[in-house]
Amino acid sequence: MSQRIPVQQIDPKVTAKAPSSFGKSIVTRSYQGMFRNIRLYSTAALLALFFLTVWFEWEGRQAVLWDLAGGKFYIFGATFWPQDLILLSALLIICAFGLFFLTVLAGRIWCGYSCPQSVWTWIFLRIEHLTEGERHQRIKLDAAPWSWQKILRRTAKHSLWLIVSAVTALTFVGYFTPIRELSLDLLNFSVGGLSLFWLAFFTSATYISAGWLREQVCLHMCPYSRFQSVMFDDSTLLVSYDAQRGENRGARKKASDPKALNLGDCIDCTLCVQVCPTGIDIRDGLQLACISCGACVDVCNDVMQQMGYAPNLISYTSERALAGQSTQWLRPRLLGYAATLILMLGGLYWGLDSRSLVSLDVSKDRLMFRENNAGQIENMYLLKIINKTQTSQEYQISMQGSDSLSLSAPNKVHLSAGEIATVAVTVSQLDTAAGGVTPLTFTVASTSQANISSSSSSNFTAPLVR
């Protein structure tokens, strides 16, 4: 009787082993079940989020737009600038820790239900099923000589693949270039060269990755699959085959007694292999190529129901549960990731809430100082002011420093939403006896909203001896 190897005892050579399917097409069959429905609903939600969000408008502009040329990133009512990229970095780190938390909790469910490669591959597989039929029909079509029927079916499949790829590329590029303008340019055949390049690139990338490479991306290109197994512990929920219950495998009649035949519950129908998108046999134990999609769980439960056996011969379970012990939900590693996530989310919220809606950069003129007509020492400065709000603002410039310094600047500076202005100001020294370097601080503040202000430090330089 084959025994399941505990996660801690798995040989790295075994976990690194992938199905020898490179160059061979994995032909999957259709199935029904709870996890298939969960995958269907999650895919629909993710696709709706991706394809529809780009068309939303907010205050007369695209709601979500990463304007690389203008150096501005719009997310509904918020505008982010290159100075705010630290917040984006924090968000990416939070997403990474969220993925680690999910991996420790339930293995590779991200891969099975949310990964773009899995989602788009599933779409392409459904198109293949629609145009070429069920698994046995596709296998027969692959082996058949070329005919008009085969040409028509293959043409329909690849045409639909290309349409989905093109719409995907248009949507993705539309997050960086206003999609309405981009769509009109496409209809008028007036798309710019750079936009056309990225449209062609992402169309080709989607078509090749989801249509041709498919599981090869998961098996040979995805770095996540290479290190995910080291994050598992004996309470991680994995798609697992209960070898003690299933072995020995063998076919039998529905009315027969498996114990009398010295058989386990597995009837060796291989349906779990036929529905697997990466072509593995889950009965061989934990494998690098398993993406935890639950397809084998659904089809095996269907077979168990037809045979009159208990469900969950294949199920989401832990090593401890398979060994007859209770799964530990509150364990140090999982609690550590959860606590870290909560702290980082709190920090991100604080960063967003305290983010200044006006930016001020001060640069001192290369001329250290000069003497004005009144015999006073002057320093010149350039103040770069960015209005990060979605409305026009009027700002007042002030200076804090020594009482012997006087600021000469415009009374008010008016900036439209997202506008950048460079304002020249001068600071004069009233006390002609003072010399050396004096620290000072410039401040710009909105005249209508007291919470919108920003400060930047600089120095005033005067000669030591006059």
Q: What is the pLDDT of residues 442-457, one digit of tens each?
A: 999 999 888 899 999 9
385 within domain boundaries: yes
pLDDT (0 to 100) of residue 368: 85
Domain span holding position 455: 358-462
pLDDT (0 to 100) of residue 427: 93
Q: For residue 162, which of 197, 212, 117 has the smallest C-alpha distance?
A: 212
Percentage of residues in the chain with pLDDT exceeding 90?
A: 67
Higher pLDDT, 362 or 352: 362
Q: Is the pLDDT of residue 7 over 50?
A: no
438 within domain boundaries: yes
173 within domain boundaries: no
Q: How many CB atoms within 10 Å of residue 169?
A: 20
Pairing of strands 453-462, 370-371: unpaired
**Confidence at 231, pLDDT banded by 50, 70, 90:** confident
Weakest-pLDDT range from 12-21, 79-88, 369-378? 12-21
Contacts 24+ apart (CB under 8 A), 396-400: 396/444, 396/445, 396/447, 397/423, 397/425, 397/442, 397/443, 397/444, 398/442, 398/443, 398/444, 398/445, 399/427, 399/440, 399/441, 399/442, 399/443, 400/440, 400/441, 400/443
Give the separation between CA 101 and CA 365, rounded to whole angstroms.
51
Sheet strands (E) in 389-435: 393-400, 405-408, 413-415, 420-429
Place of tokens 């895919």: 43
Q: Is the pLDDT of residue 22 over 50?
A: no
184 within domain boundaries: no
For residue 437, what are its two tokens? Answer: 């370097």
372 within domain boundaries: yes
Kindly report the average pLDDT of the chain as a whole number. Answer: 89
pLDDT (0 to 100) of residue 19: 45
400 within domain boundaries: yes
331, amino acid identity: R
Higher pLDDT, 466 or 394: 394
pLDDT (0 to 100) of residue 24: 63
Q: Is the pLDDT of residue 312 over 90?
A: yes
Q: Is the pLDDT of residue 18 over 60?
A: no
pLDDT (0 to 100) of residue 13: 34
**Confidence at 433, pLDDT banded by 50, 70, 90:** low
Q: Is the pLDDT of residue 40 over 60?
A: yes
State mean pLDDT over 406-418.
Answer: 90
pLDDT (0 to 100) of residue 376: 87
Q: How many CB atoms within 10 Å of residue 174?
A: 23
pLDDT (0 to 100) of residue 247: 93
For residue 234, what are its two tokens? Answer: 């004996």
Cα distances from 457 to residues 28, 81, 351, 442, 462, in angstroms, run 65, 21, 21, 6, 17
**Confidence at 2, pLDDT banded by 50, 70, 90:** very low
Q: For 54-104, how does the pLDDT look when each residue is reduced to its tens digit (9 = 90+)?
A: 999 988 889 999 988 878 888 988 888 887 888 888 999 999 999 999 999
Q: Is the pLDDT of residue 418 over 90?
A: no
Which residues lie closer than 8 Å to 236 by C-beta, 6 or more apart? 7, 103, 104, 105, 106, 107, 318, 319
pLDDT (0 to 100) of residue 260: 92
Count structural domains, the chain. Answer: 1
State mean pLDDT over 391-419.
Answer: 90
Q: Is the pLDDT of residue 238 over 80?
A: yes
Q: Is the pLDDT of residue 3 over 70?
A: no
Give the separation between CA 148 and CA 312, rounded to whole angstroms.
45
Q: Is the pLDDT of residue 6 over 60?
A: no
Higher pLDDT, 172 or 429: 172
159 within domain boundaries: no
State mean pLDDT over 317-327.
Answer: 91
**H/E stretch holding 186:** helix 179-187
Q: Is the pLDDT of residue 173 over 50?
A: yes
Indicate the angle between helix axes 193-206 and 148-174, nearest 10 degrees. 130
Indicate the angle between helix axes 34-53 and 116-132, nearest 10 degrees. 110
pLDDT (0 to 100) of residue 372: 87
Higher pLDDT, 210 or 222: 210
Give the separation between CA 199 and CA 174, rounded to whole angstroms.
10
138 within domain boundaries: no
For residue 161, what are its two tokens? Answer: 């693949």
Q: Is the pLDDT of residue 350 over 50?
A: yes
State mean pLDDT over 105-131.
Answer: 94
| CATH code assigned at 390 | 2.60.40.10
State mean pLDDT over 435-447.
Answer: 91
- Report cis status (omega within 30 of 0) of the bond before 373: no
pLDDT (0 to 100) of residue 267: 95
Place of tokens 């939303």: 56
For residue 348, what are its two tokens? Answer: 């991100």
Q: For residue 290, which of 411, 63, 57, 109 has the smallest C-alpha distance?
A: 109
Which residues lie closer than 8 Å to 330 by C-beta, 6 or more apart? none
The DSSP code for 221 is I
Give the separation between CA 307 and CA 131, rounded to whole angstroms.
32
**Confidence at 15, pLDDT banded by 50, 70, 90:** very low
